[in-house]
Amino acid sequence: MTQGSIVVSQFFNSLTVRTDRESVMRMSLFSNPALLGAGLVGLGFMACVSYVPFLQGVFNTTALSVTDWLMLLASASHFSPLTKSTKP
């Protein structure tokens, strides 16, 4: 779950710090498709490490439950309000 927390929180963080001037709520999610793609690839790798049996053995992980995913999303989403508060 720690690995998942790092990956998901950094994905959210990367989306919120795309600009110094504009609020993330005013920007299109697709304004930087390369960043979005890279984040989704990272989430995909994390999912593979969590769900593919061979990789579970290599990385000593277990599958994440729906509750785990909800906790990850809730804890990672704190970046948006914090970053938004620092922009004009």
Domain locations in the chain?
2-84
pLDDT band, residue 57 (cuts 50/70/90): very high
Does residue 24 register a pLDDT over 70? no
Higher pLDDT, 51 or 24: 51
**φ, ψ (nearest 5 deg) of residue 33:** -65, -30
Spatial distance between the Cα atoms of 26 and 81, rounded to a whole number of angstroms: 13
- Span 45-49, average pLDDT: 92
User: How far is 16 from 3, CA to CA, in rounded Å?
Assistant: 20
CA distance 26 to 43: 24
More confident residue, 20 or 12: 12
Tokens standing for residue 84: 């938004």
Distance between CA 30 and CA 54 in Å, rounded? Answer: 34
pLDDT at 83: 54
* 88 has pLDDT over 60: no
